[in-house]
Chain A
Amino acid sequence: MSFSEQFIVHEHDVLVIGAGGAGLRAAIEASAAGLKVGVICKSLLGKAHTVMAEGGMAAAMGNVDDRDNWEVHFADTMRGGQYLNNPIMVEHHAKESPARVLELESWGAVFDRTKEGKILQRNFGGHRYPRLAHVGDRTGLELIRTLQDHGIHKGMEVFMEMTVVSLLTTGGKISGVLGYDRERGRMRIWKAKAVILATGGIGKSFRITSNSWEGTGDGHALAYQAGAELMDMEFVQFHPTGMVWPPSVRGILVTEGVRGEGGVLRNNEGKRFMFDDIPEMYKNQVATDEEEGWRYVCGDKNALRPPELLTRDHIARCINREIKAGRGSPHGGVYLDIAWIKEKLPNSAEHIQRKLPSMYHQFKQLAGVDITKERMEVGPTTHYVMGGVAVDGDTQMSCVPGLFAAGEVTAGLHGANRLGGNSLSDLVVFGKLAGEHAAKYAKNNAAVEVDQEQVLAHTNAIMEPFERTTGENPYGIQHELQNTMQDLVGIVRTETEMQQALVKLDEYKARVKNVSVIGHREYNPGWHTAIDLPCMLVVSESITRAALERKESRGAQFRDDYPDKSAECATFNVVSKKAADGSMQVTRRSIVPIRADLKAVIEKMK
């Protein structure tokens, strides 16, 4: 079969991989520049993981508390990220989020309202003022549907249920991508002048996760294999509140909005343990007693936040501590209680159902728990990766010419820990920037010829599992990998365990070369899993090596053998890059220097 018969070939100016919030926003922007734009989605359009976002999107609009502005949001984000963030990206984000929210409204989004008819904003962890524009607890659905319904009229070509297996480069520059469609298993080449990665996260490398099957770190691995750098990969966010019971729903997210609306955390002694451990940098931002915390939830401007609204990294560790100390709930979590507000509100059941409809539904249907009357059992779940492709803070381009990235697959905005609500705004702020700059790049650079040898080599590699008749089932390796990462590179890390993890990862790498799949190429999930595995391995190795390199505890990374922050480690980000011999090289890079005016903003907000 000739080359042209073997592959379906598409051609675009800008090609976006991923159709969550960042990908769709990028595609809309690039289309607006008058270019031919393609969007590849791993699932059906509108099903990407953005749909799972619940609590809201952070934007300093000041609709509920007029003391809020971009400077406060900037300082909150830097503090939450423990100052490893790229300040240029944090500045873009804090300044541009409000305009992105209004833009969504102009495209048909319907946010909850204040009494005055403005967009309502809610409290969330680490945000000084109520800042999250939201729609009950299904904000992600609103975001993705709005972008989808607007985007389909803007001329972009959408490729549903297709997966990219390799970025193609010629002379170090992007020339396109290689992938397959699920329906028929046909190989396809998308030639493109610029490629935007918007592939989301990596949660599937862990056993307990809030992420769907798609979160296999494809974009991270594609970028790495193409020569881009991965940064801050040691920072994996374990969301403090995932479901723990029944076992089949373990890890499914319980929105921080529950705590934003007054939900409290208790151990099996009934104690609100979060009051016991307030980090130094938040000492003057936390309520002194339960009463003050409730007043804050109700909007009293003179009250300080309850400790349940501290940052996620800290809360996840406190929960972990309670469980390990034997003060956990029967199924290995702690209690999250929103039902208690009935003491304060006469119509609490109705109020909870209106503010948290999905949570009510989710617990009622999956766990048989009525959250308006009973406590929930919750525990940490792998939720988000702060690390990702290193990009220029203004243009979102990686070190590979023509390769851009936006959203979760990118590093820089969140530093060592992401604040809840900063993800949805991240998607639209940086989706727009990536779309804009990729369009510029595509206009200023001619198409690069695709290297046919490269295409054939990658194609042969992914077909190999069909040729083996006696190899291993890919699901088995995936399962073991998830256990390794969960048990050895999880919330609490040590040198010894992570070294063990590296040995295991090497073993899986060897075994992946010997997986076999049955059946044919049409919609074959076993084959798809076999193709996802190498991506998961790159991501897992990068997380482990970066976590070993950072010999301190900061943000989402907690090292039992280095339990404190170190001044030295505050000066660098950890970068993974593929070396010439194919091995993973890990280096330290000085953090992006902060401009004097931005430094002054941080000082002012201390």
Chain B
Amino acid sequence: MSTPTIQSNPVDQSNAVQFRIWRGNKDGGEFVNYEVNVSEGMVLLDCVHRIQAEQAPDLACRWNCKAGKCGSCSAEINGKPSLMCMTRMDSLPPGKVVTVEPMRSFPSIRDLVTDVSWNFRVKKTIKPFKPRKPDNADGSWTMFQQDIDRVQEFRKCIECFLCQDVCHVIRDHHKEDEFIGPRFLMYTAALEMHPLDTEDRVGDLKNRDGIGYCNITKCCTKVCPEHIGITDNAIIPMKERVVDQFYDPVTRLFRMFKGK
């Protein structure tokens, strides 16, 4: 089936780029072709905005900061989960049609917008931060930079959910009910490694959050726009804590006697 091409007017053919953008909703959809005149330095989100302003005012897309800081404009660009605002047009293969789709792991709302509410529900199930008593009389704590570097790395997360989108446990196997996904394994790691936190979430990781499903293919790390070492720095150490707490023979023996 041929789809209509809608042109922005006037198009300077020398810079005209062809787009295939998925349009539809939960009941289905199709790719629609657009043509946009691209100038120097433009990012993909600029092109989507230009299409909205000139050709398809009802094209739905989510965005806020346009500077890679809020994590709203996640999409799949030529099949790769990416932020539209940080994808420079000159980083895409020249002369080729650019395909833009919504994140495929989440239910569609409309066009490039997906229903990511599952992520918000998951976060609520994770035991919140519980600090030890303040170290100092003024209610403050003493913490050293070297002790918080790792936690700060995890807290750079902008919750774009690209890691959730790419993870095969969610994408292919739909284990949403048994698996919290890389974002929230790392969220848990940030709490567990927080020097002030006194809560224990390791049991939940094993029994409820499905950390065992992760077979460290590192897809999440590859798509993270903040370049966080999700697999190496967060998930693997958490897997080790699960092993230490539940599978270490000495601890097991100890637990047997303690009756836990």
Q: Which positions in A face B, CB cutoff 8 Å?
A: 43-49, 51-52, 99, 102, 105-108, 110, 112-113, 116-119, 135-136, 138, 141-142, 145, 149-150, 152-153, 158, 160, 183, 212-214, 245-249, 252-253, 357-358, 361-362, 365-367, 473-475, 479, 517-520, 522-527, 529
Q: List 27 A-B contacts (CB under 8 A).
A: A44-B62, A51-B64, A51-B158, A102-B138, A102-B139, A107-B129, A108-B194, A117-B142, A118-B142, A135-B152, A136-B152, A138-B69, A141-B156, A183-B115, A214-B64, A247-B39, A248-B41, A248-B42, A249-B67, A252-B66, A253-B67, A366-B41, A473-B57, A475-B52, A475-B57, A522-B109, A523-B60
Say which residue of A49, A118, A253, A524 sits within 8 Å of B58 (CB atoms): A524
- Decide if B257 is an interface residue (CB 8 Å cutoff): no
- Least CB distance, A431 to chain B, in whole angstroms: 19
Q: Judge whether A51 and B109 touch: CB under 8 Å.
A: no
Looking across the interface, which residue of chain B has its beta carbon closest to that of A521? B58
Contact A102 B140, CB 8 Å, known A108-B129, A138-B69, A366-B41? yes
- Please state if B58 and A519 are interface contacts (CB–CB under 8 Å): yes
Q: A212-B65, A365-B86, A519-B58 are in contact. Are A51 and B138 (CB under 8 A)?
A: no
> Does A47 lie within 8 Å of B155, measured CB to CB?
no
Q: Which residues of A contact B156 (CB under 8 A)?
A: 138, 141, 357
Set of chain B residues within 8 Å of A366, measured between Cβ atoms: 41, 43, 67, 86, 88
Is the beta-carbon distance between A213 and B64 smaller than 8 angstroms? yes
Closest to A135 in B: B152
* A317–B178 CA distance with the chains assembled, in angstroms: 57
Among A44, A102, A246, A357, which residue has its beta carbon within 8 angstroms of that of B72?
A44
Given contacts A44-B72, A51-B65, A212-B64, contact A523 B111 (CB under 8 A): yes
User: In the complex, which residues of chain A have a beta carbon less than 8 angstroms from the beta carbon of B57?
Assistant: 473-475, 517-519, 524-526, 529
Residue B17 lies at the interface, judged by CB distance under 8 Å to chain A: no
Main secondary structure of the interface of B (DSSP, over half): loop
Chain A CB count within 10 A is highest, among B62, B64, B66, B191, for B64
Are A47 and B64 in contact, CB atoms less than 8 angstroms apart?
yes
Q: How many residues of B contact A (CB 8 A)?
A: 59
Distance of B204 from chain A, by nearest CB (Å): 15
| Smallest CB-CB A-B distances: 4 pairs | A246-B41, A526-B57, A519-B58, A108-B129
CA distance A190 to B134 in the complex (A): 40
Give the complex CA separation of A49 and B69 in angstroms.
10
In the bound assembly, the distance between CA atoms of A366 and B53 in angstroms comes to 22
Q: Which of B46, B111, B129, B197 contacts A149 (CB 8 A)?
A: B129
Who on chain B is nearest to A474 by CB? B57
Contact of A152 (CB < 8 Å), options: B71, B111, B123, B142: B123
Residue of A nearest to B226 (CB): A361
Query: In whole angstroms, what is the CA distance A49 to B64 when docked?
Result: 8
Interface-located stretch among B3-11, B92-100, B143-151, B238-246? B143-151
Who on chain A is nearest to B119 by CB?
A: A44
Residues of A within 8 A of B155 (CB): 110, 135, 141-142, 145
A49 to B110, CA, bound (A): 24
Q: Does B235 contact A (CB under 8 A)?
A: no
Known: A160-B117, A213-B63. 17 other contacts (CB 8 A): A110-B155, A113-B144, A113-B145, A119-B140, A212-B64, A212-B66, A248-B46, A361-B68, A519-B58, A522-B109, A524-B58, A525-B52, A525-B59, A525-B60, A525-B61, A527-B58, A529-B57
B141 near A: Cβ within 8 Å? yes
Q: Which residue of A lies closest to B136 (CB)?
A: A118
Within 8 A of A (CB), among B186-218: 191, 194, 197
Complex CA gap A46/B62 in Å reads 14
Contacts A45-B120, A361-B68 given; indicate if A149 touches B60 (C-beta within 8 A): no
> A248 and B43: CB pair below 8 A?
yes
